[in-house]
Structure 1
Amino acid sequence: MTRALFIVDVQNDFTEGGALGVDGGDAVAAAITAHLAAHAADYDVIVASRDWHDGDGDNGGHFSAAPDFVDSWPVHCVAGSPGADYDPGLDTSAVTHHVKKGQGIPAYSLFEGVTDAGETVADILTSHGVVEVDVTGIATDHCVRASALDAIAHGRHVRILTDLIAGVAPAPSEAALAELAHAGAELASAADDSDEDGQ
């Protein structure tokens, strides 16, 4: 069974101290690193996405001086800025494909991004015969949700590793997980995989 791991937007601007930092972001970065140390070999493809917004302009209305935090946001993850870098707690050495999204336009799903070589995530999954996708990252109620829904729409079996995600707020994060489960995603714990390994 060919599997992929998605690491969604574990970037400085989305972890503590960032422009749109979420509580638990740094802990998620460290937990994903630990998961990779134990399980990188379980995946044929490991895709990490980053918001990579243009520094000039509003990126199609994505940036706003008066954001509504639904469709518009404060400036974040500007291409080449420290805020757009991966969180230092995330070890990306096992990542096979780095994807940048939101270059001049709003983008939430990792499927909206491309590699520097121009590959889409859909193409990467198809070319490697991926049928199962584990999803981790930030934020549960926004880009993790969108990426997982797109993976389901592309016909993959999706597991959300609930101990390797962090959301902006509890209520919408719980609603997102309920929506994903209803759509067919499996809600699982990465710790369960490690427990099975230890038996």
Structure 2
Amino acid sequence: MSKALFIVDVQNDFTEGGALGVEGGDAVAERITQYLSAHAGEYSMIIASRDWHDDDNDNGGHFHPEPDYVDTWPSHCVAGTEGAEYDPALVVESVTHHVKKGQGEAAYSLFEGVTDEGHKVSDLLTEHGILDVDVTGIATDYCVRASALHAIEHGRHVRILTDLIAGVAPESSEAALAELAHAGAVLAESGA
């Protein structure tokens, strides 16, 4: 078995009611949990990422009082706050590696973070012989997109589980999925 599952940023600040809440985020958390209960055993690694920003600075300009919602954003997913925690509907018992990204800087891809033990995702995938990666999470048009593109760049076969993602806006999410498909990702429903 050489397959990994990515669960990207399913956090309170990215689901309904959060600082940057995405419509459908809570439902995605629930569906990922259902998927895990039926399919966790099919993966040799399950990697869940969280945006995890410092609370004492602007995180390399990522936080801004007048955000452009492209490169700058309102404060979100500040380390140690409720907003940075996993959505309560996401059960993480089967997660093998927890990744924190954006510590003091902007970071969209989970490849830009490190595990709680200080390991990089690229090193873990290589060490465990992971060839295939399924991607789920929030937001399709930002962190899911960046994480999937990085996986492709690192030579992995990527499948986006389209019923287990939620995006900020329909147009940008559709564009992200088209870009991912063009880059070689397979777009498929989870079958859960």
- Common fold, TM-score beyond 0.5? yes
Partner of 1:197: none
Find the aligned partners of 1:124 and 1:91 in 2 and give their Cα distance.
22
| Deviation digits for residues 75-123 of structure 1 (CA, Å, limit 9, x no counterpart) | 0000010000000000000000000000001000000000121100001
Partner of 1:65: 65
Taking the aligned partners of 1:43 and 1:186, their CA distance within structure 2 comes to 17
**When the two structures are aligned, how many residues end up with a matched partner?**
192
The Cα RMSD (Å) is 0.5
Letter in 2 for 1:112: E
SS in 2 for 1:171: helix
Q: TM-score, normalised by structure 2?
A: 0.99
> What SS is found at the alignment partner of 1:87?
coil
Q: State the one-letter code of the partner of 1:92.
A: V
Q: CA deviation at 1:13?
A: 0.1
SS at match of 1:124: helix
Distance in 2 (alpha carbons) for counterparts of 1:61 and 1:138:
22
Letter in 2 for 1:29: A
Report the equivalent of 1:189: 189
What is the Cα deviation at residue 25 of structure 1?
A: 0.1
Distance 1:50 1:124 in 2: 17
Partner of 2:53: 53
SS in 2 for 1:95: coil
Unaligned segments of structure 1, at least 5 residues: 195-199
**What is aligned with 1:87?**
87
Quick one: distance in 1 between partners of 2:77 and 2:47? 18
Which whole-Å CA distance do the structure 2 matches of 1:3 and 1:116 have between them? Answer: 21
Runs of 4+ in 1 over 3 A off after TM superposition: none
Q: Which runs of 5+ in 2 are unaligned?
A: none
Q: Which residue of 1 aligns with 2:144?
A: 144
Letter in 2 for 1:49: S
Q: SS where residue 62 of structure 2 aligns?
A: coil
Matches of 1:20 and 1:177, distance apart in 2: 21
Distance, in Å, in 1 between the alignment partners of 2:96 and 2:123 is: 14
Counterpart in the other structure of 2:27: 27
| Counterpart AA for 2:112 | E
- Aligned pairs for 1:1-199 within 5 A: 1-191=1-191, 194=192
SS at structure 1 position matched to 2:111: helix
When normalised by structure 1's length, the TM-score is: 0.96
| Secondary structure, counterpart of 2:4 in structure 1 | strand
Q: Once the two structures are superposed, what CA deviation does each residue of 1:100-157 show, in whole Å capped at 9, x if it has no partner?
A: 0000010000000001211000011011100000000000000000000000000000
Question: Once the two structures are superposed, what CA deviation does each residue of 1:37-62 show, in whole Å capped at 9, x if it has no partner?
Answer: 00000000000000000001100010
> Structure 2: how far apart are the matches of 1:136 and 1:116?
20
Cα separation, 2, equivalents of 1:105 and 1:13: 17
